[in-house]
């Protein structure tokens, strides 16, 4: 093969790199790579098994695209934190309900799942396909990308526009966006653009986490009445029934905080956190090619029995001291894993944590959550099952939400009036 022909070959097949220099992984097939070994569901559980087969980091490829799975938090810290100058980019694709904002957020999450599925887009392996006309057979990805771009643009503008409209009526709740918007001079389009992207990042980084965790919260409270009872006792002792909980109560409700940590650990909303190196890098003697999709398997890290004994059991007490902790040791805070790493840590983390505390505490203060029982006395199943995708949610289930006695519901009605 001549130098010229070799250059053309590598350009068409960027995955053609000496396997001896790459991290270990499953053997690929010609052209297809490991396409047939990429799961269509439960990615995180499937890749978790690779820890025992290939070690903390495993490599695979689909067509010409490089992928690496990290199942070791120490490797994640080394690459995403200590080498964040290299690993702070996202993988580059060739094509980039009644509540309007919630509806947009759900659509954006769906688009992200579709866009990042390994092997879904042939154009990622053969970039020359991006120049095909939209009507060409097999070029449906172009129409998909144009539609996705419009949805992303709508989502980016939505939080800022929502606040601007509310501020115009002078009937709005002060927020990060309203506070900064009031300081931006008129006609300062650059300032508004910066705030627009900041608000969209915070909102997108927090909403999906809150929705998924709250679904799991209702499921687990219905399944574990003993945990719910202890949490309600704590809330009643500190707050009572004559006022609604607020954010200043958080330091005084340690068991509520343990429940939140366990919810985040039990089901990381984003089980695979993806970064990409902006240049070739070496780790432990292995080459990590530029542009590799490096996926930190957060689910594996929060279900590693060495770090979290009995990982498949819902045990908020694992984050308490030895007095109540049945596992025998206080375990690491999963918040340091589930919100991302390095410079790409989730910008909505503080928003999510405070919102979850308020939602969970207020729910336990006002309501009791029980299994649903029909007229014949049959109890609706409360199975622990999750969706598949970039973000993971509990599958639909039924439960009963009953108001607690006292002044609680009256206080809520007064606030809403």
Please report, in range form, the residues annotated as the binding site for heme. 346
Angle at alpha carbon of residue 17, lines to 15 and 20, rounded to 5°: 130
Rounded Cα distance between 70 and 296, Å, is: 5
Position of tokens 């409209």? 165
Rounded Cα distance between 307 and 328, Å, is: 12
CB atoms within 10 A of CB 185: 7
Per the annotation, binding residues are: 346
Angle at alpha carbon of residue 199, lines to 276 and 364, rounded to 5°: 100
> Residue 203 contacts by C-beta under 8 Å, 6 or more apart in sequence?
101, 105, 159, 348, 351
Residue pair 195/180 in contact (Cβ under 8 Å)? The answer is yes
């Amino acid at each position: 093969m001549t130098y010229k022909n070799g250059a053309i070959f590598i350009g068409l097949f960027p995955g053609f790199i000496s396997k001896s220099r790459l991290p270990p992984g499953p053997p690929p097939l010609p052209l297809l790579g490991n396409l047939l070994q990429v799961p269509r569901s439960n990615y995180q559980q499937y890749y978790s098994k690779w820890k025992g087969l290939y070690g903390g980091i495993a490599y695979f490829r689909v067509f010409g695209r490089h992928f690496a799975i990290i199942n070791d938090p120490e490797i994640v810290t080394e690459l995403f934190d200590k080498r964040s100058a290299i690993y702070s980019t996202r993988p580059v694709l060739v094509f980039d309900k009644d509540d309007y904002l919630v509806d947009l957020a759900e659509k954006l999450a769906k688009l992200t799942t579709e866009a990042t599925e390994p092997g879904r887009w042939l154009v990622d392996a053969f970039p020359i396909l991006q120049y095909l006309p939209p009507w060409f057979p097999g070029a449906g990805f172009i129409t998909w990308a144009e539609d996705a771009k419009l949805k992303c643009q709508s989502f980016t503008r939505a939080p800022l526009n929502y606040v601007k409209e509310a501020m115009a009526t002078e009937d709005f709740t002060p927020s990060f966006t309203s506070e900064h918007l009031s300081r931006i001079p008129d006609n300062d389009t650059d300032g508004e653009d910066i705030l627009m992207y900041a608000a969209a990042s915070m909102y997108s980084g927090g909403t999906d986490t809150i929705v998924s965790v709250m679904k799991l919260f209702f499921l687990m409270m219905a399944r574990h009445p003993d945990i719910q009872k202890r949490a309600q006792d704590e809330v009643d002792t500190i707050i009572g029934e004559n006022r609604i909980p607020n954010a200043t109560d958080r330091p005084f409700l340690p068991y509520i905080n343990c429940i939140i940590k366990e919810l985040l650990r039990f089901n990381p909303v984003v089980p695979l956190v993806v970064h990409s190196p902006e240049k070739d890098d070496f780790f432990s003697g292995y080459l990590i090619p530029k542009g590799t999709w490096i996926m930190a398997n957060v689910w594996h890290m929060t279900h590693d029995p060495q770090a979290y004994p009995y990982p498949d059991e819902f045990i908020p007490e694992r984050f308490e001291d030895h007095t109540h902790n049945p596992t025998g040791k206080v375990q690491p805070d999963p918040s340091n894993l589930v919100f991302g790493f390095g410079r790409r840590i989730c910008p909505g983390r503080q928003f999510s944590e405070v919102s979850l505390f308020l939602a969970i505490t207020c729910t336990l203060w006002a309501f009791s959550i029980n299994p649903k029982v029909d007229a014949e006395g049959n109890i609706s199943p409360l199975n622990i099952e999750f969706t598949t995708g970039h973000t993971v949610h509990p599958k639909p289930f039924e439960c009963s939400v009953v108001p607690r006695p006292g002044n609680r519901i009256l206080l809520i009605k007064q606030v809403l009036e």
